[in-house]
Chain A
Amino acid sequence: MTLSLFDQFLSPVVCWIPLVAIAIMLPWILFPSPTTRWVNNRNLTSQNWFLGQSTSQIFSPINPGGHKWAILLSSLLIFLTTMNTAGLLPYTFTPTSQLSINMGFAGALWMGIVILGMRTQPTHSLGHLLPEGAPALLTPVLVIIETISLFIRPIALGVRLTANLTAGHLLIQLTSTATLALLTIMPITAIFTGVLLFLLALLEAAVALIQAYVFILLLSLYLQENV
């Protein structure tokens, strides 16, 4: 029974076409490339505004040296929000519910940030292993704890996104199955589960946007420490 519930996360292949390829390649039609016109259409202008606002929001607390990462992190934000929200549509596959994709982005970017910090300013980067204001007696323990937390970061980053999306999609599948099954047997209960399903769908929409933002925010925080 449980295995069939998780089947929605198997990488689907239809007529020898892996659907994950379509799920990753197709949403970019919704994002037209900006033209050289002075005034673009509403679609482009609103996307431009959103991109500018989010980039300035995320990068305002970072040193100017770290602003080179703006293109990478803001395009990753667009990538993750699009993948997450597109996966909410029925019968679509959510690429970001796959551990491989999330760990690929999290691990690579975390490692790049840490290596950058260690190479350009090793003392400053290693200094983050001992938080300010800590009692001197706790120093050995704290350094060990902070090192462990440093190395857990990429795993946490990838698994957080995967787990949130997987859990959300599973809950939606469970409640919709329940609603459908109860419709003939106990219609009033089915109405309640239907309301629950509606609220869950709203939650999932919020989670899709928030989790993508949290991913980028945490990467920007790690960048702040290391740049």
Chain B
Amino acid sequence: MPQLIPTPWLALLIFSWTIFTAIVLPKVLKHSFPDNPTLPSKQNLSKNKWDWSWH
């Protein structure tokens, strides 16, 4: 069976791991998952008015 020929084993192993760590991992790392946007809540509008506390 050709898969059992030992000659390209180490090269294939190292090559696949190299491409995996060099290309696939950075690409997947760059994906970001921001929070879902929430609707503005109408309750918080009237609290905490700006009160110019230093005057």
**A residues neighboring B (CB under 8 Å):** 6-7, 9-11, 18, 20-21, 24-25, 28, 31, 33-34, 47-48, 51-52, 71-72, 74-76, 78-79, 95, 97-101, 103-105, 108, 162, 166
Contacts and interface: CB of A to CB of B under 8 A. Distances in A.
B3 A71 contact: no
Interface string B1-25: 1111100111011011101100111
Contact of A6 (B1, B10, B12): B1
Given A9-B1, A24-B19, A104-B13, A74 B28 contact: yes
B23 A28 contact: yes
B19 A25 contact: yes
Contacts, number: 84
A8 to B, nearest CB: 8
16 contacts: A9-B2, A33-B27, A47-B31, A51-B28, A71-B25, A74-B28, A75-B25, A79-B24, A98-B12, A100-B10, A103-B13, A104-B12, A104-B13, A105-B16, A105-B20, A108-B17
Nearest to A97: B3
B30 interface: yes
A98 B28 CA distance: 24
Contact of A20 (B15, B24, B26): B15
A146 to B, nearest CB: 29
Interface residues of B, number: 26
A33 B12 contact: no
A18 B12 CA distance: 10
A95 B28 contact: no
Contacts of A52: 31, 33
Nearest to B21: A75
A162 B28 contact: no
A24 B16 contact: yes
B29 interface: yes
Given A9-B2, A79-B24, A34 B30 contact: yes
A34 B33 CA distance: 11
B32 interface: yes
B1 A28 contact: no
